[in-house]
Structure 1
Amino acid sequence: MDLLQQLVTIFAENGYVAVFIALMICGAGLPLPEDITLVAGGVIAGLGYANVHVMFALTMFGVLLGDCAIFLLGHHYGARILQWRFVARVLTPSRYVKVQEKFDHYGNRMLFFARFLPGMRTTVYLTAGTTHRVSFLRFLLIDTMAALISVPFWVYLGYFGANNHEWLVKWMHRGQSSLWVLIGLLLLTVLVLWWKHRRRTRCGLD
């Protein structure tokens, strides 16, 4: 948790701008975990250095901007981007082929679930852009839906745990599995609502 404390100190001293820059670094695929960055943003809000709702809006914008930048780079330059030295470190030819195969198998669902798989986001978004299999608007819609689950989860976790370090650390360790539970509950809710709507429609036709 040393990294979390370092980020909290930097963010507390420099405010929203530092959080936004850190998210741009995360989006570029550099070794700065997005979840810890979001938690740190929530922590400084909990400590009174920022407004938590403004922090949520800022981090949502920063996350989506970083994701879109990666996607559009891939979309504009295509497979040529794999020759860039920086990109080659993140997305090797063999990894690129594997991600393409996963797209063939799972389709656009890969874009949604990539947000919840640390270390996969940059490679998946770059590949989605280079292969031209999805439009920018569809990418933005899917990414926004996923970010609306993960971003508030981490930001508000940091906010509520700002003054209880042990509780915060415990839930950060549980965070990834808790996110999957949350996704499952949301999907179940959507399925139940869809089933009820379909049942009402059938009853109306009868």
Structure 2
Amino acid sequence: MDLLTRLITFFAENGYLAVFMALLVCGMGAPIPEDVTLVAGGVIAGLGYANVHVMFAVTMLGVLVGDAGMFLAGHHYGVRLLHKRPLKWVLTPKRYNAVQKQFERYGNRLLFTARFLPGMRTAVFVSAGLTHRVSFTRFLLLDGLAALISVPVWVYLGYFGANNHEWLLTWIHRGQTGLWIVLGALVVGIAIYVWRRRKRRHAAPGNVEDESA
């Protein structure tokens, strides 16, 4: 029995609370794919065990609470958190240093894209809290916007594919690819916006250097 089937059975027997708690565990870095968990929540709605719109609300809440918990843990406990299990298994010194370098370079953009990076979310969110460079409000806004892209895709995919396992597995793979395409388009759009803004700033009369000086 594969992971998706096991999650569907577990969620069908235990309802919304089980889905919510599973997403909290995912947020803590547990080796449970968040996308598969979301799809399983959608599937039990498609099978009649839950309302799909309520499931979407529950999964959004579970995702955001889990992410916020990691951010706040990093914010309040600092580097001491890196030495506590199970986080020290997820956020190794090597991974932490790598995330810190990326965070210094990309800042808020990394927070947004982290939602689409399985295995890196926890490290990025804890690091964001550790840096104290991002307010909790800004973190929730960026993470929430990213979740509004990813969460409904997986939940409603599970809902519409509840009775066709093979079709569902095919579209899980396509959905993963599609999210990467959307993410790539967003990153390119942001990069173009930043480049044009810097170009206009440098072209402003007050920023033109006198070459004859």
Deviation at 1:183, TM superposition (A): 3.8
Pair 1:99-2:99 in alignment: yes
- In structure 2, list runs of 5 or more residues that go unmatched: 191-213
Question: Secondary structure at the residue paired with 1:85?
Answer: coil
Whose Rg is larger?
A: 2
Pair 1:117-2:101 in alignment: no
Aligned to 1:13: 13
Aligned to 1:126: 126
Aligned to 2:38: 38
Deviation at 1:188, TM superposition (A): 8.5
Deviations along 1:112-135, one digit per CA (max 9) or x if unpaired, are: 111001100000001101111211
CA distance in 1, matches of 2:114, 2:184: 15
- Residues 1:50 and 1:119: Cα distance change in structure 2 (over 3 Å): same
Cα RMSD (Å): 1.9
CA distance in 1, matches of 2:98, 2:154: 29
CA distance in 1, matches of 2:10, 2:174: 25
Pair 1:137-2:129 in alignment: no
- Residues 1:113 and 1:11: Cα distance change in structure 2 (over 3 Å): same
CA distance in 2, matches of 1:184, 1:30: 26
Task: Name whichever of 156-165 and 82-91 sits farther off.
Answer: 82-91
- Provide the aligned length of Structure 1 versus Structure 2: 191
- The answer to whether the Cα contact below 8 Å between 2:113 and 2:183 also exists between their aligned partners in 1 is no
| 2:165 partner letter | H
- What TM-score, normalized by structure 2, do the two folds share? 0.85
- Residues 1:185 and 1:83: Cα distance change in structure 2 (over 3 Å): closer
- In structure 1, list runs of 5 or more residues that go unmatched: 191-206
CA distance in 2, matches of 1:106, 1:114: 11
Aligned to 1:200: none
CA distance in 2, matches of 1:11, 1:80: 35
CA distance in 1, matches of 2:143, 2:85: 26
- The answer to whether the Cα contact below 8 Å between 2:111 and 2:143 also exists between their aligned partners in 1 is yes
